[in-house]
Amino acid sequence: MVKNKVKKKAKNGAGRKKRSPEELRKASNHLKYEVWMLQCMAINIHSGLAGNRAINNAFIESFVIHARVLLDFFYPLKPRLDDVIAVDFFDRAKTWEEARPEKTDILKTIHKRVGKEAAHLTYSRQKVSEEQKA
């Protein structure tokens, strides 16, 4: 029973190492990069700039990887000790948990689909229709 409590704390960010302002500043530079790349890829995909299917797929794959990084930052499922997550930027995990909006159904779907359709080679990919891919 104690093990479950420890896992629960790890899951929600409680009990994590307090990071120095310098570590957080450096991590925020990487966070800024992730947001920038997500935005750039969204613009490139939407623009139709890539007439080549392989290039378009590369834009989409880049987009979903950066989306996953940000989802794992805001809504970590099982953060590792060296993962940068939003709760690290708060003095108390409870403050972030109360401020963070609920994960919407679309974000839940995206998080699951990125894992199943882009980040891992799975049999679930075979079940995705062309309409769903769009």
* Residue 113: pLDDT band with limits 50, 70, 90: confident
Cα distances from 76 to residues 22, 42, 64, 86, in angstroms, run 22, 23, 16, 9
How far from chain centre, in Å, is Cα 81? 16
Q: Which two tokens stand for residue 89?
A: 């930027």
pLDDT at 13 over 70: no
Q: What is the pLDDT of residues 52-64, one digit of tens each?
A: 888 888 998 999 9
Q: What is the DSSP letter of 10?
A: H
pLDDT at 97 over 50: yes
Find tokens 């940068």 and name the residue: 84
Angle, CA 29 vertex, CA 23 and CA 32 arms, to 5°: 135
